[in-house]
Structure 1
């Protein structure tokens, strides 16, 4: 172990005696490897944390491009006597994947399926493959890998092997150790060994020699194994030495055979580095049904679980009241969780039945209803036989950790006794007594997860910057006494790492702990493989390793936005929070908002949703929401120099952020990187100034009237190649990107000539729809008038039209943006006060009134505006539901519509209203394209350095879907940028939904 100071910042490496070896290591890696080699401060910082409470700066990071690269990196590190740490998605919650070592990230390239045998139900994969990606590959074959952990969208098979992962359905399928057939690994001495069934090994092979030595070690401590190894399914601490206990064989393998690969499962990379992994697969169940049991008390939920499991469910998962309440606050989860509730339960259990016979599963659901009635809770079960409903609710459960971490304020649920496992008959009593322990220390715990196997994820709410470390130790001591009393396992799912390593000896006793040390010495005599894990570990509360040690604080700076909403105090016992306040530190709220990222890596997903388009095209931690948040946290705490948000590190990390706000919705903790980018951009401009391109982007609302008046000349520029090329080059615009075309001035040409009506609305026509696509505004006005509304417009004669200030925000001109917001607010307030809805066409403009306007510090008036600001289709749906809409529609020439939602619409759950209004057109089938950001993102897609990235984002799913969708479908996209990208990428015209509704007016 290094000294305490060595573990915190970056400077120690310059004083360390290993400076020369580290420099030589980096140089050799860069010369000989084909993959990426990262030794800069910011990259090391991004890999210094995982989903735990710890932070340890690595020596460097390598990303091998292929298997030869992986071997080369291990050989070079061994020659330099530098430890190595193989890392997957970095979702470990106990600190397994942080250390002062050379981190080897296998996720970008080593993610292939190597061999597959459908008949034998086996597959061989590389360690970096993501679980969901593997299961998507297997699905057409009717198979899946059933260790379905909640992080399945981002976790890798290699990481799951290292942790001995378990998952929601372990009651039926077992843990990782029960489903791994073989591991091909590199050992510390450079040898490659194939770990598998001992009875199939050649007599004098290295694997067989290791097996023989391990068996001797196991026989020496046979009685202790039988006495001290927990008898619960969920036991993942230490090494799986009990696989050699012949007198009492552990059924890791269904046939009782000894498989040496099972020793590597759960070893946290301390014995070898996986190269290839062979897995046992299971048939996909054809039918699933879900029963959601609502409980008036938490104790009942725990007590009744032992009866529910007798019905042979495939999963029984807990969601407690805290998680329910936090889900109700999240727009992505609110409607889903509401469907599952009966009244206001203190807890719910998700009880799943799965199999090949649908009638049998429905019968099991009926039996669940009957059981609950017999236990005194009739009508407490919400049945969900529909697959889509089940998937949505399981997604809420999978997001449990992140939902819990969405609490604002200094206190956060802290993982350290998270997955103690106890026999089911003791579960209710254990949780009750542990709750008493929490109350003793003035806090409350959050509970969720695997009730079926007695493993509940419980996190007491602690403030690690103050007294959290001391309370953590005391709570852990008392929790361990309860675990021992009920003959459970202290580490039931998430492994040991830095958090529970010291408890290995407590759980297994000194003789077995010595045996573990002997195993480590046998495999890794020089302690070069992830040292400090499982054996010879630090204490869990060693402040030197904490991400937020005592005294941690943000460097002083003055943010441009008001972040006081994140600066709250919460009573851990009642859950009540105080009013937001500055607490005397303008930086604190910003720092707390950044620190909402808990490093769980949900942003690494590639499935449905918007987040995170830049990561999807790069697979680079730097261009990931988590990577950016880590960079900002390190900057705000002074660990990346003194430039603060104006630093090059911040600029590079945010370079490919398209401000899509996908993270605002898709991230369960609500990290809004787009807003952080505004802060960083403003800081950069303040320190470094504006470029000509910045001014052109920001001032568009100012020069648009002139460009519109001279549209004949301006629009001809694109037709004169040398002129267009010269202008684009001078401004730093992509040569292949078409310039925007200006067409008229809608607000100047159209006047409010309607007679007064009983109902009125203000149509907010933005710069783009006013000067470039006035037909959209014209169509919206006509539809609103046809609906019986008097339509006001957002301009007075002789005055410049109102503007949301979005172009100023994106170019770093914050003061001008705020001034535009204030001017807009002053103009609109008379309408707002009399309850007139403000209706907009461009999502990024209108929705800024519901978002950025609230953080300008404009007070109650901004909040009042946000409550009456609607997108065009949102307003129509609202009016329809109120019975106020007087519209009739006729069929169009189109039978199909393909809809692409703007990213900000997705962030504010505003895509469904478009689907709804399109459904009013008779005979029109609507297909919503499942896509991330279109990649245009305002000026981003114009910029020469971002043009390629912009197209790659569009080619992920949007443009291919349009090309494959056929020419008979009308394309619908509300976003100006989206329509531009679609036209440049497919030569197809997309229209605003207002245009389509106008065409369909009867």
Structure 2
């Protein structure tokens, strides 16, 4: 029977607690609705609104937070990456987020192979810092790019590498802990003599050790009998670590306690060498149960570093989602696969291990159901496909919603095949068709996501009945409810079925010993909330269903369903690689991650009586969270479930400012295409006015532009002016040689050399280039500022102008990635029923796509140069970069395509007042340092206007070319071997003398320009 006491968070003096925290703690103290809303849930099915969020600036400050909470009786929840799938990281408590500041690697002892860390350090970051020593922390869950060591200790995380290195508990040497009532100490293995010394000293520490000895003695037989003898038992408290044969290890007893017993302040970890060589063997099977059957045979003949599995259902989902196709194509024949990874000190050794297994199981490397690789890059791609299981299975293309709840059960590996058959039978009994089955089969751990119907009373009742039946099933196999993700709320109520009443009573006594007031993450593991309580959805959930501008065709035309794409995986909190999420990388703020913003949008939709956001589209909290979204679209491709925060932001802004005055930047940069056309009246005058110190400062304030930014210079002659001056016959749209070059605002009015170069290259490839001479625009700047009604009008007029080309199926070539992406993605979502929009999306191509796939026989000039290449975020997300890589290869460019994330400018974002600091912080995360490090004689290539502008204004001393410019110069034979940045024929900033000379004549032009501007605005439809 449990001995914990109930708690009532509503009895906490919240105002007094806030005042005490602000007065005494060096931390970011947040009691506001927006901050609390970003932390209402984790990666689980559960939702609880925090009392507050506190971000301590040091471990000492974190300890002070606990002390203040204890004075007010406030519950405490320690949080790392917030990816828990069992509800451990959501509670009506004071949430302490350790991840922003408390991420120090305190010390490393390479000889002893140990290190000391703070709880907020991310696993990948820790391993990067250890790499110079050739060491790493062994356990590696799939969330390794963003999970923290504190969270791993709390959940006893494992991952695929646990096959070789064990669980987190097996790699913790000591912990520095703090109890709720203020006892702070280091704990670890404790000899009898040490325990005697502690007892002699007396006090709270002696009381705890005495209680631990009593529990270990009283329940000795129960512990030895009641814990399943399997490699993946994560459920329950680790009372087995108190056994004499396990060294009475208090630290390991506390690992996996999910913040319900103590606060972990620091940890001493055991490290392992990084294996220098690897090989991967993949074995194909007819179904996943047969693969499970073969696990024990594989383990009899080898000791692999990893033994993973994925089934045909996951492969099918990947193909339908267009994800990891290269990895799938490398799989051998079969409908399910075992992936066996070997590690060792030589390539011959690891290769021989793989071939020895093949001989033992009667297979050959030449068999169609066998694939072998000793190529590390290829191996990592294939293993990443297995790692992606949670994201791939969370939102299947058939629009079913799948959920955790029974996602990490574990059984003895030798019984795995039969367990899988019984589990599939149970799925069928409840009508849960086709859940994917995959996981860490070498340790008997099975991952899956199940289409529970969590929005109806009947569905929730079935959910509860299923997990109860599944718990009984896994116990019948001498298995564990959890083999990786822990108990939390998802399995806490089921622990009696696994351990029995006596051991669960012992868990309660351990909880009472460390936390007698039940204030440490209450309602989890011990005296848990019901498995079907506090659901994020549930039968009482009644969200708003607002009318929207975008159609959300991939989400059943529902903004609510689009927002629900986020299931809390947290890849947006990674620190390097890919694009997502630049604002999180700069701020380390949950609120400014894709996940945090999705949480706030979910709260905005309401549906719960305690929703933190109550004013819908007018919410200032949601606006503030979205304000630092760069609209880079990185999440659309890099998020495993395809959250598209750029679109959600545009949707929100359109409603938030409906009928209201907008920020000045929405009128200045949001209407940039109009102002760019007006610049043709007097481009030199405009440039002078924009760069004269006093006038420029005043203009920036008026326009809502950051004072530190320089306005881009308008070209003296626009691309359209150049094109019209050619006086060539307009190509026939029906001519198969005709292509339409899209005259985007940036390549037309700012950098016309790009469009001119594109004409030169396309004509060399045998095409006839047409350009619409009537003003057209994709609407990008209106979309990004949420002026969606205007954007739709702009697009409709553009479609009218493009009519003959759409009817003739003329290829339309985009040069600016962000504009091309509008036609491929934004326009079809904004106008999903318009057939011309669909035609346009199908006809628009990138410059490289057209030349690589539709110019047979043409060879680009042989540039024979090194190039450092920045991929525009929208291209990364929407069009991809494969064609560009191939075109550069054909041009003999040795291209180093950067993987340093977003440039930070992101269209209007980096120009807007209040964004400059974040913009530059994003750029300095990787992009600008990589540009500065580029060899002086290498080309710098960046197709995006934002990327080129950030490079030029980012203290690099370099300019970048568009790929079209590089190829055109190659055709002319004028590509020099040094200072390639000089190739960009861009307008120079006017000198001081030139500025004043131009201003001297400005008076005569001012009235004319103003009159023309007014006339143009009155005729706005013709300009837009």
Same fold (TM over 0.5): yes
Paired position in structure 2 for 1:339: 330
Using the TM superposition, give the Cα deviation of residue 666 of structure 1 relative to its aligned residue in structure 2, in angstroms.
Answer: 0.6
Matched, 1:187 2:176: no
Q: Secondary structure at the match of 1:651?
A: helix
1:314-353 paired onto structure 2 within 5 Å: 314-342=305-333, 345-353=334-342
Distance in 1 between residues matched to 2:771 and 2:742, nearest whole Å: 6
After TM superposition, list the pairs within 5 Å mapping 1:949-960 onto structure 2.
Answer: 949-960=918-929
Q: How far does the alpha carbon of each residue in 1:243-277 deviate from its partner, in whole angstroms, 9 at most, with x for none?
A: 2334xx3xxxxxx5332111111111122101110
Matched, 1:767 2:740: no
Give the aligned partner of residue 372 of structure 2: 383
**Pairwise CA distance, 1:736:** 2.1
* Aligned twin of 1:846: 820
Map of 2:722 onto structure 1: 749
Aligned residues: 947
Q: Cα deviations across residues 175-196 of structure 1 (Å, max 9, x unaligned)?
A: 1111100001011210111111
- 2:27–2:56 CA contact under 8 A, matched in 1: yes
- Which residue of 2 is the match for residue 570 of structure 1? none
Query: Is 1:973 aligned to 2:942, yes or no?
Result: yes
In structure 2, the partner of 1:549 is 538
SS in 1 for 2:636: helix
1:680-724 CA-partner distances (Å, limit 9, x unpaired): 111122142334432222322223222023111011124421111
Which runs of structure 2 are paired with 1:474-493 in the superposition (5 Å)? Answer: 474-493=465-484
Change (3 A) 1:301 1:715: same
SS of 2:891's equivalent?
coil
Greater Cα shift, 331-340 or 604-613: 331-340
Equivalent residue number for residue 243 of structure 2: 245
2:500 corresponds to 1:509: yes
Query: Which segment is superposed worse, 294-303 or 371-380?
Result: 371-380
Alignment of 1:530-929 (within 5 A): 530-542=521-533, 545-567=534-556, 589-637=558-606, 639-743=611-715, 744-751=717-724, 752-753=728-729, 758-795=736-773, 799-800=774-775, 802-855=776-829, 856-879=831-854, 884-891=856-863, 895-908=865-878, 910-922=880-892, 924-929=893-898
SS in 2 for 1:459: coil
Deviation at 1:171, TM superposition (A): 2.1
Q: Give the deviation of 1:755 after TM superposition.
A: 7.0
For residues 337-366 of structure 1, the C-alpha deviation after alignment (integer angstroms, 9 at most, x for no partner) is 222253xx4222221111112112112222
Q: Give the CA deviation at 1:374.
A: 4.7
Q: Does 1:258 align with 2:248?
A: yes
Deviation track 1:263-312 (CA, whole Å, cap 9, x = no partner) reads 11111112210111011111111111112222222221111122122222
Offset of residue 888 of structure 1 = 4.3
For 1:523, the equivalent position in structure 2 comes to 514
Encode CA deviations 1:135-186: one digit per residue, 9 max, x unaligned: 1111121111110111111111111111111111222211111110000101
Whether contact under 8 Å (1:240, 1:263) holds in the other structure is yes
**Residue 140 in structure 1 maps to residue 132 in structure 2:** yes
Query: 1:888 and 1:476 mapped to 2: Cα distance?
Result: 61
Residue 460 of structure 2 aligns with which residue? 469
Q: Alpha-carbon deviation of 1:440?
A: 1.1
**Matching residue of 1:131:** 123
What is the SS of the residue equivalent to 2:268? strand
Provide the rounded CA distance (Å) in 2 between the counterparts of 1:235 and 1:653.
Answer: 39
- Kept in 2, the 8 Å contact 1:465–1:550? The answer is yes
- Residue 988 of structure 2 corresponds to residue 988 of structure 1: no
- How far has the Cα of 1:841 moved from its partner? 0.3
CA distance in 1, matches of 2:358, 2:269: 37
CA contact (8 A) 2:321 2:397 kept: no
1:745 CA drift (Å): 2.5
Is the 1:612–1:662 contact (alpha carbons within 8 Å) kept by the matching residues of 2? yes
CA drift of 1:387 comes to 0.9
2 CA distance for matches of 1:875 and 1:214?
71
**Structure 2 counterpart SS, 1:412:** coil
Map of 1:575 onto structure 2: none
Question: 2:311 touches 2:437 (CA, 8 Å); kept in 1?
Answer: yes
1:162 correspondence with 2:154: yes
Asked whether the 8 Å contact 1:125–1:278 carries over to 2, the reply is yes
The secondary structure found in structure 1 opposite 2:390 is: helix
Q: How does 1:28-47 map to 2 (within 5 A)?
A: 28-47=20-39
**Distance in 2 separating the partners of 1:866 and 1:739:** 32
Matches of 1:694 and 1:655, distance apart in 2: 13
Question: Which region of structure 1 is more displaced relative to structure 2, 119-128 or 395-404?
Answer: 395-404
CA contact (8 A) 2:744 2:777 kept: yes
Q: CA deviation at 1:370?
A: 3.8
Q: Which moved more, 1:214-223 or 1:768-777?
A: 214-223
Q: Given that residues 408 and 596 in structure 1 are in contact (C-alpha distance below 8 angstroms), is that contact kept between their aligned partners in structure 2?
A: no
Q: Which of 962, 965, 969 is the aligned partner of 1:999?
A: 969
- What residue in structure 2 maps to residue 201 of structure 1? 194
Match of 2:985 in 1: none
The answer for unaligned runs of 5 or more in structure 2 is: 1-5, 199-203, 974-1024
Contact 1:902-1:973 at 8 Å conserved across structures: yes
Aligned partner of 1:283 among 268, 273, 276? 273
Partners of 1:636 and 1:936 in 2: CA distance:
30
Distance 1:979 1:783 in 2: 21
Q: Is 1:213 matched with 2:185?
A: no
What whole-Å deviation, never above 9, does each CA across 1:889-912 have from its counterpart, x for those lacking one?
1447xx321111110111125333
**Correspondences of 1:925-940 after superposition (within 5 Å):** 925-940=894-909
Aligned equivalent of 2:349: 360
Query: Hey, what's the Cα distance between the residues in 2 that align with 1:85 and 1:526?
Result: 14
Contact 1:198 1:208 in 2 (8 A): no
2: CA distance between counterparts of 1:550 and 1:965? 57
Q: Are the aligned partners of 2:827 and 2:837 in contact in 1 as well (CA < 8 Å)?
A: yes
- Partner in structure 2 of residue 86 of structure 1: 78
Distance 1:971 1:708 in 2: 30
Structure 1 pair 102/755, CA: closer, same or farther in 2 (3 Å)? Answer: closer
The answer on whether the counterparts of 1:201 and 1:208 sit within 8 Å (CA) in structure 2 is: no
CA–CA distance in 2 between the matches of 1:696 and 1:243? Answer: 65
Gaps of 5+ in 1: 1-5, 250-255, 568-581, 583-588
User: Could you say what secondary structure the match of 2:868 adopts?
Assistant: strand
Q: 2: CA distance between counterparts of 1:492 and 1:769?
A: 55
832 and 316 in structure 1: CA distance in 2 versus 1, 3 angstrom threshold? farther
Q: 1:510 to 1:377 in 2, by over 3 A?
A: farther
Cα distance change of structure 1 residues 109 and 703 upon mapping to structure 2, 3 Å threshold: closer
